[in-house]
Amino acid sequence: MRKRNQNSEELMKPFKTRSFVVFGALMVLGAACLFMILKLGITEGAMANGNGAKVLDTTDTSYVPSPEDSLFNCFVLNNNLSPIRGEIYDDHGRLLVGNFTVFEVAFDGRRFALEYGDTLSKNPKAFDDLFSTLGKALYEQFKSRFPKYNESYYTNFFSQAVQNKKYKTLFAVKEWDEKSWVSGRDTSYIKNLECWKVNGRKIHAHLNYVPTSVRINPYGDIARRTLGMNVEGKHYGLEYFMDKLLAGQQGSKKYLRLNKTVVPLKDRVEPIDGYNLHTTIDAEIQNYVHNELALKLSELGAHWGCAIVMETKTGEIKAISNLKRDADGHYNESMEYAFNAKVEPGSTFKLASLLSFLEKRSDDTTCTFPMFVHTFEYPLKSGNYRRYHKQDSKVHGETMGTVSEIIQRSSNIGVASMIFDAYGMKGFSNYRKQLIKLGIMDTIHTQLGDILPASIRNDGRFDNYYGVCFGAGFNIPILHTLVYYNAIANNGKMVAPLFVKYVTNNYDTIQRFEAEVLNEQLVSPTNVAKARKYLESVVWGKYGTGRHYKDSTCHFAGKTGTRDIWDPVLRKWDYAHNAVSFCGYFPMEDPQYTMIVYIYYVPQHSEVAVDAFAKIARAMMNRSNYSAMRNTQELPFQPSLESCPINRRFFNTLCASMGYDTTALSNTQNFYVPLRDTVPTIQSKAWVVKQEGRMPNVRQMIASDAVAELNRAGYKVRLVGRGIVRGQSLDPATKTVTLTLTP
């Protein structure tokens, strides 16, 4: 027994020795780990937090790159976190500009060659077939977007990337070129191509899809210039001028890079997404304006055209289209003509001259002036006169006309005569001062930039004075003309154009905008009323230049304009082509909208602009919700029309609910009919149910009364349709009367 115990102790000795060795080693390792933890925590804790002496913080605002940077192997770097750009909506909350994810497609030829190098050397034909098939598939998918790329281009692209072992971009993202965007549907198509199987085994494509957020316009080209862009080389519209609100604020995430190891740090600033813009544009009205203008320009073969709709009382721009013909003959939004077109206004400027005349003369209804042909005598310092013979048309001999007739006929000589009479032949400076009072010489600040003033020189020479009277010899932005026309439609109150109503984030309204009032009363209320009468006569008068487009269902007023075009290349006037326009407001009695249509380079005169104006106005006034714009208190009294017979018990109640008084009803009849009248008292007459044999004649009655009468007479009733009884027929076998109802 003792011998056995001795043997066991001998066997345990090596085990105990090993245990002590392992235990000792673990203790030493633990002590070393504890030492390193203490060292890292105490001596190098700052490095772990990115702020030690051995760390170079490149995110510090005072950091400047220097050659000494090579002495560091630990850097604090910054990874920018991009916010989501705000979206743009119309005045009914419909999306006009939103965010859309597209992809840059690149091919990593280096990794492809490394992974499949052996297969390439053993079976090069398999990959030649792959790239050839891939080229055909990509060509079919993208031939409309990349017409310059043929099948061989794609095949060579992949082959050369593998041979040269390069990372190459196949489709780059061009934010301004929507036609070239590669969407998620495209990437799915590429990923699922059958050609990625080689020798029955699916290979890794090594195609990288880098997502990028771009701006998309769901309505296409409509209002594109107004909505704008803010990408490299293209800065205009709301996207540019309201960029600070739309862009949001970038966030950041710091990280520590030690050799090739990346360690995220705690310093993280979350990005703040951009605000959303809610514009004044009405997508429905914008659609009318864009399509009608494009149709008219195409019909005339014009170089370009512009149309703007402003809400009269608020100054809100409801639609704005700037269309230019491209090389293919299509019309697209390509320039901001409303702000920047340098063209002479022509006869639409005669409203400014008319207002200037009315502010000087109150006898406008009795005075007359020459039209068509006249010789003006300009006084000289010597006491003599210089004579300028002017002729508007082929009419021979001087003809006198009233102010109304001059405006209707759009006589240049007549308007100039009015101004010369009111301000004198040498009174150009006083006339110009009056134009300044009308705001025509002011710069108007808007959310889309400045509207420049009219470029009227302070030159009192006769030719300059004469030309300014009817809109020749100077330029004025198209939008500026609309602003002072809108003031007349708005009873003299001039407001600046408004493009954005308010700004929101995901939770609340951040900021609201209202149109700036430029002038509370542009001219006296009396002269505003007179000016509106003259503008109405242009369309509704006997001699009005817009009279051919008057429409009893669409009342509008305004002024036409036709101007010759100056050819800067030939340096002479092109009398075969014109710039034509019409600016006015509608409905004429209570203006809700003011609009201008401007068409450049057409052989026709201003009637074509009136035609476009009238069609747009009619489309807007025919909208299903237009009745909501009208004030019911202003509608004339409309007496009740003759109607179907009404049961005596409901007659008084029904008429009273419509606001009518009723005459006393006798109790001798069950049904009465209201009569047409011209006063708010309804006259009535009794209505007797006649008999067709034993069956009552219930034609013209409402269904409920007809059924009651027939049931009282012992008949069953079957109804067909809805409305008033128009016909009845009897089935003698079942004694059932079928009533045919129609509205």
Q: Could you read off the pLDDT of 284-298 as tens digits, one per residue?
A: 999 999 999 999 999
- Amino acid 579: pLDDT: 95
- Amino acid 203: pLDDT: 73
Task: Pick the more confident residue, 235 or 629.
Answer: 235
- Amino acid 498: pLDDT: 97
Query: Residue range 94-108: average pLDDT?
Result: 91
Q: Are residues 673 and 581 in the same domain?
A: no
Share of the chain above pLDDT 90, in %: 43
Q: What is the CATH number of the domain that holds 402?
A: 3.40.710.10
Cα-to-chain-centroid distance, residue 297: 20
* DSSP codes joined into one string, 8-40: HHHHHHHHHHHHHHHHHHHHHHHHHHHHHHHHH
Instruction: Tell me the three state secondary structure of residue 158.
Output: helix
Q: Are residues 650 and 616 in the same domain?
A: no
Q: The tokens 């030829």 sit on which residue? A: 109
**2, containing H or E segment:** helix 2-42
The model's pLDDT over 423-448, given as tens digits with 9 standing for 90+, comes to 999 999 999 999 999 999 999 999 99
Task: Pick the more confident residue, 77 or 668.
Answer: 77
Are 707 and 689 spatial neighbours (Cβ–Cβ below 8 Å)?
no
Q: Is residue 662 part of a domain?
A: yes
Q: Please give the biggest Cα pair distance in the chain.
A: 159
Task: Pick the more confident residue, 241 or 677.
Answer: 241
Q: Are residues 669 and 727 in the same domain?
A: yes
Burial track 560-580 (b if 16+ CB lie within 10 A, e otherwise):
bbbbebeeeeeeeeeeebbbb
Check pLDDT > 60 for residue 143: yes
Q: Is residue 269 part of a domain?
A: no
DSSP state of 207: E
Check pLDDT > 60 for residue 135: yes
Q: Which of 113-117, 356-360, 536-540 has the lowest mean pLDDT?
A: 113-117
- The whole-angstrom separation of Cα 592 and Cα 585 is 7
Q: Are residues 555 and 514 in the same domain?
A: yes
Neighbours of 103 (CB within 10 A): 20
Query: Residue range 588-601: average pLDDT?
Result: 96
Q: Residue 157 half-sphere exposure, CB side, CA atoms within 13 Å?
A: 22
Residue 199: band (very low, low, confident or very high) from pLDDT cuts 50, 70, 90 = low
- The whole-angstrom separation of Cα 496 and Cα 36 is 72
Check pLDDT > 60 for residue 359: yes
Query: Residue range 288-313: average pLDDT?
Result: 95
- Amino acid 632: pLDDT: 38
Q: Are residues 606 and 662 in the same domain?
A: no
Check pLDDT > 90 for residue 319: yes
Instruction: List the helix and strand counts (H, then E) for the chain.
Output: 21, 39
- Amino acid 627: pLDDT: 43
> pTM for the full model?
0.73
- Amino acid 232: pLDDT: 80
Q: Is residue 176 part of a domain?
A: yes
Task: Pick the more confident residue, 740 or 142.
Answer: 142
Residue 635: band (very low, low, confident or very high) from pLDDT cuts 50, 70, 90 = very low
- The whole-angstrom separation of Cα 647 and Cα 635 is 30
Share of the chain above pLDDT 70, in %: 82
- Amino acid 276: pLDDT: 94
Residue 198: band (very low, low, confident or very high) from pLDDT cuts 50, 70, 90 = low
Q: Is residue 588 part of a domain?
A: yes
Check pLDDT > 60 for residue 43: no
Q: The tokens 């001087």 sit on which residue? A: 398
Check pLDDT > 80 for residue 72: no
Q: The tokens 């602009």 sit on which residue? A: 609
Q: What is the CATH number of the domain that holds 156?
A: 3.90.1310
Q: Is residue 265 part of a domain?
A: no
Check pLDDT > 80 for residue 111: yes
- Amino acid 49: pLDDT: 56
> For the packed helices 428-437 and 412-423, what is the interaxial angle rounded to 10 degrees?
100
Instruction: Mark which of 176, 201, 218 sits at the end of a domain.
Output: 218
Residue 639: band (very low, low, confident or very high) from pLDDT cuts 50, 70, 90 = very low
Cα-to-chain-centroid distance, residue 707: 55
- The whole-angstrom separation of Cα 701 and Cα 688 is 11
Which residues are bridge partners to 465 per DSSP? none
Are 617 and 595 spatial neighbours (Cβ–Cβ below 8 Å)?
yes
Nearest to 348 by CA among 584, 559, 604: 559
Q: Are residues 604 and 688 in the same domain?
A: no
- Amino acid 699: pLDDT: 81
Task: Pick the more confident residue, 121 or 325.
Answer: 325
- Amino acid 697: pLDDT: 84
Q: Are residues 672 and 737 in the same domain?
A: yes
Are 487 and 435 spatial neighbours (Cβ–Cβ below 8 Å)?
no
Nearest to 670 by CA among 645, 699, 640, 704: 645
Residue 729: which domain range? Answer: 646-742
Q: Is residue 253 part of a domain?
A: no
Contacts of 113 (CB under 8 A, 6+ apart): 120, 162, 163, 165
How high does pLDDT run on average in the chain?
84
Phi, psi of 232 (to 5 degrees): -55, 120
Q: Are residues 724 and 658 in the same domain?
A: yes
Are 596 and 478 spatial neighbours (Cβ–Cβ below 8 Å)?
yes
DSSP state of 692: E
Instruction: Give me 83's structure tokens.
Output: 């916010």
| 462, 468, 574, 584, 596 from 601: Cα distances, Å | 28, 21, 9, 21, 17
Task: Pick the more confident residue, 208 or 398.
Answer: 208
Instruction: Mark which of 218, 235, 266 sits at the end of a domain.
Output: 218
- Amino acid 595: pLDDT: 98
- Amino acid 425: pLDDT: 93
Burial track 42-70 (b if 16+ CB lie within 10 A, e otherwise):
eeeeebbebebeebbbbbeeeeeeeeeee
Check pLDDT > 70 for residue 650: no
Cα-to-chain-centroid distance, residue 590: 26
Check pLDDT > 90 for residue 221: no
- The whole-angstrom separation of Cα 621 and Cα 556 is 11
Q: Which of 57-61, 359-363, 475-479 has the lowest mean pLDDT?
A: 57-61
Q: Is residue 62 part of a domain?
A: no
- Amino acid 453: pLDDT: 95
CA angle 95, 97, 103 (to 5 degrees): 120
- The whole-angstrom separation of Cα 594 and Cα 708 is 56
Query: Residue range 644-652: average pLDDT?
Result: 68
* DSSP codes joined into one string, 271-308: -BPPPEEEES--HHHHHHHHHHHHHHHHHHT-SEEEEE
Check pLDDT > 80 for residue 486: yes
Instruction: Give me 571's structure tokens.
Output: 């340096």
DSSP state of 249: B
Task: Pick the more confident residue, 727 or 149.
Answer: 149
Task: For residue 545, give the amino acid letter.
Answer: T
Nearest to 344 by CA among 508, 578, 676: 578
Residue 630: band (very low, low, confident or very high) from pLDDT cuts 50, 70, 90 = very low
The model's pLDDT over 545-585, given as tens digits with 9 standing for 90+, comes to 999 999 888 899 999 999 998 887 888 888 889 999 999 99
Neighbours of 632 (CB within 10 A): 6
Q: Is residue 74 part of a domain?
A: no
Q: Are residues 146 and 26 in the same domain?
A: no
Check pLDDT > 80 for residue 641: no
Query: Residue range 516-528: average pLDDT?
Result: 96
Instruction: Mark which of 175, 201, 218 sits at the end of a domain.
Output: 218
Residue 30: band (very low, low, confident or very high) from pLDDT cuts 50, 70, 90 = confident
Please give the tally of structural domains in the chain: 4
Residue 515: band (very low, low, confident or very high) from pLDDT cuts 50, 70, 90 = very high
Phi, psi of 522 (to 5 degrees): -60, -50
Contacts of 437 (CB under 8 A, 6+ apart): none
Q: Are residues 468 and 602 in the same domain?
A: yes
Q: Are residues 580 and 684 in the same domain?
A: no
Q: Are residues 615 and 653 in the same domain?
A: no
Query: Residue range 152-173: average pLDDT?
Result: 89
- Three-state SS string over 445-474 comes to EECCEEECCCCCCCCCCHHHHHHHHCCCCC
Q: Which of 309-323, 418-432, 597-611, 647-661 has the lowest mean pLDDT?
A: 647-661
Check pLDDT > 70 for residue 310: yes
- The whole-angstrom separation of Cα 16 and Cα 4 is 19
Q: Which of 197-201, 244-248, 304-308, 552-556 has the lowest mean pLDDT?
A: 197-201
- Amino acid 668: pLDDT: 62
Check pLDDT > 50 for residue 636: no
Task: Rounding to the nearest 10 degrees, give the CA dihedral for residues 725, 731, 735, 737.
Answer: -10
